[in-house]
């Protein structure tokens, strides 16, 4: 019986192609939005997870309080403070990062760019900086001791019109704040176009170019098994004591890498949640549209309902028939929404890669496909319940007289 009702409901949808198509489209838009947003949100979460694995969560980052781009703060950290942190129990190493916004030219009399220039330590602390920034050589070699006027460039320098009109090459000379330095290597992509145009020199090279000697950030690696939270508090206490500052009046703050990733993840989650709520509102409107379509269908088919009842169709059979129709509309909209969402997400991921936003890559887990499909079918069925109930309660004699 239910199989017959299914085919009967399917035939009724085909008889009203345009109305059915428009109802399915309203579901499509909401499902497409949810599928696209969640796939990108899941992609960012996976990126953060991969980043945490590469960086390691065994690190503390100490940076100045206040707002502004990196390297622009007036608060800096001295060699003495870094030495103080290295001597703490449970600390495996500490590295300072020299960072300023510099003027970089490919050749004399050409238009300058203003990327960040980093001074990398050449001792054992170098590995800490490379882990934190996930720096891996893509071409050429890394910096070595004695490379006073050598540089490693970010990934985007390898491409035409990404940074310079022509790609940079190994052995090229670039001008950093009026000083010529030789390119010896290129780092791989960091997933952010701004980071992928950075310039990296040794600490000695940085001092020769900029004369700066204080550090913009400090990165601390803790020993395996050491309590991060306690070390974070102790590091803050040591720096306060060294600077003569009271608790709550510090001009710096200490964070674990896990806290940084959780903060970023929470911000992404909130933004994604807001957008998904908007998409759910569009689905609510779609459900109302399907309900309206089914009410119209019930009115148009009043005589048909009377005939079905007069030949023995029960109330439950009529409810099933109309709920199946609305469920099919939801299923069609859901399937089309998933397909459209996949196409849009894939194209968005391609554009993100093209513009250097490597972290904005969609992920399509099976649970997302199943959720969108089940949700759209369920929404369609729920939207059809009231019209189906109204149809089942009609008296056969009255329905047969309806014109």
The pLDDT, as a whole number, for residue 199 is 94
Count of structural domains within the chain: 2
How buried is 312 (Cβ within 10 angstroms: 0-12 exposed, 13-18 middle, 19+ buried)? exposed
Task: Identify whether residues 193 and 281 lie together within a single domain.
Answer: no
Q: How far is CA 73 from CA 107, 124, 396, in A?
A: 30, 27, 81
Residue 180 domain-assigned?
Answer: yes
How buried is 389 (Cβ within 10 angstroms: 0-12 exposed, 13-18 middle, 19+ buried)? middle
Q: Reply yes or no on whether the pLDDT at 201 is more than 60.
A: yes
In contact, 305 and 325? CB cutoff 8 Å: no
* Domain span at 230: 66-250
Residue 358 domain-assigned?
Answer: yes
Residue the block writes with tokens 């950290």: 77
Confidence of residue 401 (pLDDT cuts 50, 70, 90): low
Q: Mean pLDDT, to the nearest integer, of 246-252?
A: 83
Confidence of residue 337 (pLDDT cuts 50, 70, 90): very high
Task: Identify whether residues 191 and 282 lie together within a single domain.
Answer: no
Task: Identify whether residues 267 and 189 lie together within a single domain.
Answer: no
In contact, 251 and 75? CB cutoff 8 Å: yes
Q: Reply yes or no on whether the pLDDT at 209 is more than 80.
A: yes
The pLDDT, as a whole number, for residue 345 is 93
Residue 58 domain-assigned?
Answer: no
Task: Identify whether residues 145 and 194 lie together within a single domain.
Answer: yes
Task: Identify whether residues 266 and 245 lie together within a single domain.
Answer: no
Domain boundary among 186, 220, 250: 250
Structure tokens at 291: 């309900």
Task: Identify whether residues 158 and 36 lie together within a single domain.
Answer: no
Distance CA 131, CA 128 (A): 5
Confidence of residue 344 (pLDDT cuts 50, 70, 90): very high
Residue 291 domain-assigned?
Answer: yes
Distance CA 176, CA 164 (A): 14
Distance CA 329, CA 336 (A): 11
155-175: pLDDT as tens digits? 999 988 888 888 999 999 999
Task: Identify whether residues 140 and 236 lie together within a single domain.
Answer: yes
In contact, 154 and 198? CB cutoff 8 Å: yes
Distance CA 192, CA 210 (A): 25
Q: Reply yes or no on whether the pLDDT at 302 is more than 80.
A: no
Q: Mean pLDDT, to the nearest integer, of 367-388?
A: 87
DSSP string, 215-243: BSEEEEEEPTT--HHHHHHHHHHHHHHHH
Give the list of residues 6+ apart from residue 7 with CB closer than 8 angstroms, or none: none
Q: Reply yes or no on whether the pLDDT at 184 is more than 90.
A: yes
Residue 255 domain-assigned?
Answer: no
Confidence of residue 367 (pLDDT cuts 50, 70, 90): very high
Q: Reply yes or no on whether the pLDDT at 188 is more than 80.
A: yes
Residue 334 domain-assigned?
Answer: yes
Task: Identify whether residues 334 and 186 lie together within a single domain.
Answer: no
Helix (H) or strand (E) holding 25: helix 17-55
In contact, 235 and 88? CB cutoff 8 Å: yes
Residue 149 domain-assigned?
Answer: yes
In contact, 27 and 214? CB cutoff 8 Å: no
Distance CA 82, CA 188 (A): 29
Task: Identify whether residues 317 and 392 lie together within a single domain.
Answer: yes
The pLDDT, as a whole number, for residue 213 is 72
In contact, 308 and 395? CB cutoff 8 Å: no
Domain boundary among 250, 284, 308: 250
Domain boundary among 250, 271, 300: 250
The pLDDT, as a whole number, for residue 3 is 65
Q: Reply yes or no on whether the pLDDT at 92 is more than 60.
A: yes
Going by the DSSP 8-state scheme, the letter that residue 87 receives in this structure is T
């Amino acid at each position: 019986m239910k199989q017959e009702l299914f085919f009967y409901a399917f035939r009724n949808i085909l008889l009203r192609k345009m109305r059915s198509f428009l109802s399915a489209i309203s579901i499509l838009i909401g499902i497409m939005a949810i599928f696209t947003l969640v796939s990108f949100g899941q992609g960012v979460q996976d990126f953060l997870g991969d980043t945490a694995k590469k960086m390691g969560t065994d690190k503390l980052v100490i940076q100045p309080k206040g707002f502004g781009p990196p390297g622009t703060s007036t608060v800096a950290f001295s060699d003495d403070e870094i030495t103080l942190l290295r001597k703490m129990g449970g600390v495996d190493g500490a590295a300072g990062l020299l960072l300023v916004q510099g003027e970089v030219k490919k050749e004399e009399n050409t238009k300058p760019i203003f990327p960040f220039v980093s001074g990398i330590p050449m001792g054992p602390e170098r590995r800490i900086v490379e882990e934190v920034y996930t720096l891996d050589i893509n071409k050429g070699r890394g910096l070595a001791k004695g490379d006073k006027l050598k540089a490693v460039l970010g990934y985007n320098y390898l491409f035409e019109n990404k940074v310079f009109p022509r790609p940079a090459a190994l052995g090229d000379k670039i001008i950093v704040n009026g000083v010529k330095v030789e390119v010896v290597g290129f780092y791989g992509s960091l997933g952010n176009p701004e980071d992928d145009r950075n310039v990296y020199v040794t600490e000695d090279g940085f001092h020769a170019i900029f004369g700066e000697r204080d550090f913009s950030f400090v990165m601390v690696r803790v020993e395996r098994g050491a309590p991060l939270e306690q070390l974070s508090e102790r590091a803050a206490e040591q720096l306060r004591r060294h600077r003569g500052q009271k608790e709550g009046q510090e001009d710096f703050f200490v964070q674990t890498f896990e806290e940084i990733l959780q903060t970023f993840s929470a911000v992404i989650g909130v933004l994604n949640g807001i957008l998904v709520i908007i998409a759910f509102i569009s689905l609510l409107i779609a459900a109302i549209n399907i309900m309206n379509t089914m009410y119209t269908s019930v009115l148009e088919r009043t005589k048909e309902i009377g005939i079905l009842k007069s030949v023995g169709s029960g109330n439950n059979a009529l409810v099933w028939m109309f709920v199946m129709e609305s469920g099919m509309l939801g299923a069609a909209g859901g399937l089309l929404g998933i397909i459209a969402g996949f196409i849009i997400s894939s194209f968005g991921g391609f554009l993100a890669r093209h513009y250097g936003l490597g972290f904005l890559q969609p992920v399509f887990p099976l649970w997302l496909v199943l959720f969108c499909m089940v949700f759209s079918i369920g929404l369609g069925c729920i939207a059809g319940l009231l019209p189906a109930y109204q149809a089942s309660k009609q008296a056969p004699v009255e329905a047969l007289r309806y014109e």
